[in-house]
Chain A
Amino acid sequence: MDLNQLEAYLRPQHLPQVQDWSEGWAWLAGGTWLFSEPQPGLRTLVDLEPLGWSELEVTEAGLSIGATCSLAKLSQFDWPAAWPACAAFRSAISALAASFKVIHLATVGGNLCLALPVGTMAPVMLALGATYEVWSPSAPPFQLPALGFQTGPQQTRLQPGQVLRQITIPAAQLRCQVDVQRFGLAATDPALALVVGTYDPQTAQVQLALGACLPAPYLLQFSGLPSAVEIAQALDAELPLERFVHDARASAGYRRQLAQVLIQRCLEGLRC
């Protein structure tokens, strides 16, 4: 939609050209959320597109994903056969329940930094142990772990003017088996609960990232494939009912039930 109150639209060729970051400024990645609803406080958009941060790089150390890599590019990439965990990208993008026309434009970094509870890239990055490289126009880059990056609904550890530049995932994690489970009200509804699970055949480590049902994604870790009892114990200990999202779409209790069901189904997928 038209953002009629917008006063400026910047297209920097280099990040340091962005000067005097102020209140009412926002980074523009794909635009698929920013242009999808009114943005009352927004005055200036800084378009990241000309910076060309959309690379996908496969090295022996692992994978690096440019922040403005489109979801379509990530979804359609021809992954090394030794990295079965990369299947999670496609599943998670599918779980976003967005139109393929949105997937063309929406970006990996946009999905992470928007930090909606229903975001699907964040649980994947949590399960895969990703690290985020953060840039700003006037300060040196630094790294943040995916774990803890999203702190709440539309809240991250990024400070005003800071921008996600790149995501890196270690190769060891990409060699894991993976399974993604989602549940929504309808076939194409944003998820009520999402579980991304990885299983490392070398170490028997299981990582279960829960999304959509919590204000921010959460990682459950097990040293082997857990039993139903162990899962229930972990949920009870780490995620009491009040931690789950409770809104008009579904109650906290129902989301918790879904989380349990999806974890079971995810583990069944990982066992196969």
Chain B
Amino acid sequence: MLEPLSFQVNAQPYTEACAPGSSLLSLLRRLGWAGVHAACASGDCGSCTVWLEGEPIHSCLYPAQRIGGHAVTTIEGVAQDGQLSPLQQAFLAHQGFQCGFCTPGMILSAEKLSGLSEADLRLALRGNLCRCTGYQAIVNSILNQPEPSEPVTTGAVGQSIAKQDGPALVTGQPVYTADWSPPGLLHLKVLRSPHAHARIRQIRTDLAKALPGVHAVLTYADVPRRAYTTAGHAEPVPDPLDHFLLDYKVRFVGDRVAAVVAESVAIAEQACQLLEVEYELLPFVLDPELAMNGSSVIIHDEPESQQIYARDRNIAGHVALESGNIAQGFAAADFILEATYTLPAVQHAHLEPHVSTSWLDEDGTLVIRTSTQVPFHCQRILSEILDLPRDKIRVFKAQIGGGFGNKQEVLSEDLCALATLRTGRPVQWEFTRTEEFTATNSRHAMTLRLKTGVKADGTLVAQDLEAIGNTGAYGNHGQTVVFLAGYLPLGLYRCANTRFRGYAVYTNTLPAGAFRGYGATQGSFAMESHLDEIARQLGLDPLELRRKNLIRPGDPIGVGRSEDHFNLIGSYALDECFTKVVQALDYVPGQPPRVEGLRRRGLGFAVSMQGSGLSKVHTAGVRLSLEPEGHFCLKTGAVDVGTGSDTSLRQIAAQILDVSVGDLQLISADTHRTPFDAGSYASSTIYISGQAVNLAAQNLRGQLLNFAAQLWQTPAETLVLAAGAIRSATQQLSLGHLAQLAQAQQQPLVAELAYAADESSLTFAVLGVEVEVDTETGKIQVLRCVQAIDLGTAINPRICRGQAIGGTVMGLGYALSEELWLDQQGRILNPGFRTYRIPTAADVPPIEVILVQKADPYGPLGAKGVGEITTNCIAPAIANAVAHATGVRLSQLPMTPERVWRALNRDPA
């Protein structure tokens, strides 16, 4: 610590000493200004933006030692006398946020960017990353631009009711996991493996333990040896049980070696450097095809692991689906195309990192406050690996700053909880951005080989798909992701003879896991590129070829056996989706590409389908009550990862109970306060948790009517519940009064139930793009993008649009710029936002979203899932548009300028 410095934050004076290397960001957070968000700590994302003497800066880049004599303003200081600034109000009015983690930085930056054109504004926002919104809502907020109008509806459902957490997000309230901790907090850091594959012979911990401020050092010798999966899945768990709290073997660069618990992050970091680890280096394998065929490396040779399909060949999971007879099918084909598609590992890049805080409650309950999509699965897994009864473990989430599948995992909770058990102290573990990129999960890198036979008119007669997914060092989600890579794209088309073989293969690389789209994204790229190429080679219209073969209402999913399936066609509006997209882009079949000098323009399309939750295994519990004070309390285990689903769930209940959303208190995602919910994944929250809310609300509505019917001695059918009261032809009883009467009679008015869907309806989407290719450099520019989504009822159209645009932009990054680069030693070369390029506002084209609403017969009030499908279409649509523009077919993502340039020049190197 150096001399104390005097400065002001939001007009409050401080005199503080801080460490020589402290950033202003850490100083501000230490002082409790939680609206300053730490997301990258490298000056790339802008979440930590503050004003220094009125000028916006990245506080992570600013030396705290320079702060003496200065005045700082954080988001908490922007509202004056409780009055939000006009820009804060505009962010609320236009909902320029989803998870809200980037929001304080966006607002503080934009406050100083007045008077810019949209193009200049987008460029100026390059130091502010958002992974949720796709930026459109943010830009609309800043420019105060009008939004698409929605049909007027009478009830709550169908209205774009504001996300209820908005005011907290635009003012920087301390709502996220890391924003609060109990007193006496210790910090955990993990030493991570520098080697791709090694056995740990010995870890000498003496020096680390002797460092003042170190409370515990944990190695494999200190933990129970129980194999589990980090994946958060409902039982029966489909994943290999192949992970240990800490292990005597490391299997990828970044794997856990040992944990240190200390008074501060700095001490824990220093202690990690003092650990002396003796490694026995083992041969490693980075390529899945080699790992499965011909490598002598066995990544999981430990006897305790279970549910591994073929450990001697490093195959974590295997899928085989077959229907008809493909040999006969190909024999009958007039034309056969075979092609291979190569897809990279990419990262979720949610801005809020993985973070958990654990402590022991007064009654000895182990409490974990964590940024998770799956609190209940987390509780179960912790119970198993820590050998504690489930009711002695409470897991709950705070506001989540994005997840996208990467928090459908137990990655930070386990060691944090163990550290609390060992020290008796509250412990926090927050991942660095480098750890996010190197030690969490990626989308599965995948190689897909697809062979298709068609008749001359384009009718599909045979399809044979092989998918090899790189599941990395651990098998979490491997088999299920590979399953969807084949099942959904093949299932989208009628074809009598189909075969799918999928392999999830271990390698000594970063584990792959759940990521929005979950294999369907990879499979859709292969299928939609492939069909487009067939149409091109046969001289058929690519849209006509698809429409000829797409599944229709009443069709079963054609691939594999029916018992392999868990989806069906409920509502179906694919035809309308095609019509809308074709109209919006003025597409005319057979139209030639436009050539302007060295630039060429073309159009491309893609179709996709995705399930709405998982049928049968995905359970959602709800407890809905009329409280004595007269308001409703909705308890749901469902997890809002930042999308706004908490608001949508309330809209469903509000619709049935005819109250406003504000009349419903919501308590969510807490194993000790809410019923069980499997969690937020597989596009399930509205379709399954929402249906549970719908059923509970119907049930409670019946109870309320029956209560009044008994009171008035009149049949319940003659009564109506509306506007906060029950009415008969002659009488009226307010809900407040009813609640008091019920309490006096000791009659609880509660509906509590659990729901699992028998079948999961399919959501469909069609997307079209226009691109321009610069043939000198290979650069692709997307000029326009239109997506129509057949999503059933849009419970909250603006939230659905947010999912659509955000998912599309995530897909845009996958298409054009994102890829984790691995060197020959298995190290990730771009573990940060400066080198791993997610789209910025300036990279995003105008995106039009058309919500095609046709009520689904199975979903709650006609709704289907919409969280994932939006990511699938844009990469193949761009590849198809590039093929249209240039005649060159790209079969590898991302379609970087160099890859396009090489393809244009027929240069394979």
Contact = CB atoms under 8 A, between A and B. Distances in A.
Contacts of B57: 101, 104-105
B126 interface: yes
Interface stretch (B38-46, B483-491, B874-882): B38-46
B46 A251 contact: no
Interface in A6-55: 6-9, 11, 28, 30-32, 35-37, 45, 47, 49
A7 B49 CA distance: 26
A35 B59 CA distance: 10
A185 B896 contact: yes
A6 B19 contact: yes
A188 B840 contact: yes
B62 A188 contact: no
Interface in B253-282: 265-266, 269-270
A5 interface: yes
Contact of A1 (B41, B122, B270): B41
B63 interface: yes
B723 interface: no
Interface string A99-120: 1111011000000000000000
A5 B270 contact: yes
B20 A188 contact: no
| Chain A binding surface SS class | loop
A4 B779 CA distance: 41
A11 to B, nearest CB: 7
A104 B55 contact: yes
A1 B23 contact: yes
A102 B835 CA distance: 17
B830 A248 contact: yes
A157 B122 CA distance: 38
Contacts of A3: 20-21
Contact of B49 (A49, A101, A183): A101
A60 interface: no
B286 to A, nearest CB: 14
B21 A2 contact: yes
A154 to B, nearest CB: 15
Contacts of A35: 23, 43, 60-63
A251 B26 CA distance: 39
Size category, B interface: 35 or more
Contact of A188 (B779, B830, B843): B843
Contacts of B270: 4-5
B375 interface: no
A37 B63 contact: no
A186 B66 CA distance: 34
Contacts of B127: 98-102
A8 B830 contact: no
B17 to A, nearest CB: 12
B711 interface: no
Contacts of B25: 1
A84 interface: no
A186 B19 contact: no
Contacts of A253: 909
A37 B434 CA distance: 10
B69 to A, nearest CB: 12
Nearest to B68: A11
Given A3-B21, A4-B21, A261-B777, A49 B840 contact: no
Contact of A4 (B265, B896, B902): B265
A204 interface: no
Given A99-B126, A185-B837, A188-B126, A9 B63 contact: yes
A148 to B, nearest CB: 28
B123 interface: yes
B33 to A, nearest CB: 16
A19 B21 CA distance: 20
A30 B265 CA distance: 25
Given A8-B20, A101-B49, A188-B123, A32 B61 contact: yes
Interface in B874-909: 896-898, 901-902, 909
A6 B842 contact: no
A186 B44 CA distance: 15
Contact of A9 (B65, B842, B909): B65
Contact of B21 (A6, A185, A257): A6
Nearest to B124: A100
B720 to A, nearest CB: 56
B128 A99 contact: yes
A183 B898 CA distance: 12
Given A2-B19, A101-B46, A31 B61 contact: yes
Contact of A101 (B26, B109, B122, B909): B109
B46, B61, B265 — which one has the most chain A CB atoms within 10 A of its CB?
B61
Given A4-B265, A258-B777, A37 B42 contact: yes
Nearest to B56: A101
A82 interface: no
Nearest to B119: A187
A40 to B, nearest CB: 9
A73 B161 CA distance: 44
A186 B20 contact: no
B544 interface: no
A251 B839 CA distance: 22
Contact of A5 (B21, B22, B779): B21
B192 to A, nearest CB: 13
B834 interface: yes
B215 interface: no
B238 to A, nearest CB: 34
A187 B126 contact: yes
A189 interface: yes
Contacts of A186: 816-817, 837, 839-840, 842-843
B309 interface: no
B65 A11 contact: yes
Interface string A243-272: 000001111011001100100000000000
Contact of A47 (B61, B65, B839): B65
Contacts of A6: 19-21
B266 A257 contact: no
Nearest to B269: A4
A185 B817 contact: yes
A144 B475 CA distance: 58
A112 B58 CA distance: 21
B776 interface: yes
A9 B832 CA distance: 27
B442 to A, nearest CB: 16
A190 interface: yes
Interface in B797-823: 816-817, 821, 823
Given A4-B270, A47-B66, A186-B837, A9 B2 contact: yes
Given A1-B41, A37-B832, A258-B777, 16 more contacts: A4-B21, A4-B270, A9-B2, A36-B42, A47-B65, A97-B126, A100-B113, A100-B124, A101-B58, A101-B109, A183-B897, A186-B839, A187-B123, A188-B842, A251-B909, A261-B776
The 4 A-B pairs with the shortest beta carbon distances in the complex, nearest first, are: A99-B127, A3-B21, A6-B21, A1-B41
17 contacts: A2-B26, A3-B21, A9-B63, A32-B43, A35-B60, A45-B21, A97-B126, A99-B46, A101-B49, A101-B127, A104-B55, A183-B779, A185-B896, A187-B843, A248-B821, A253-B909, A258-B777
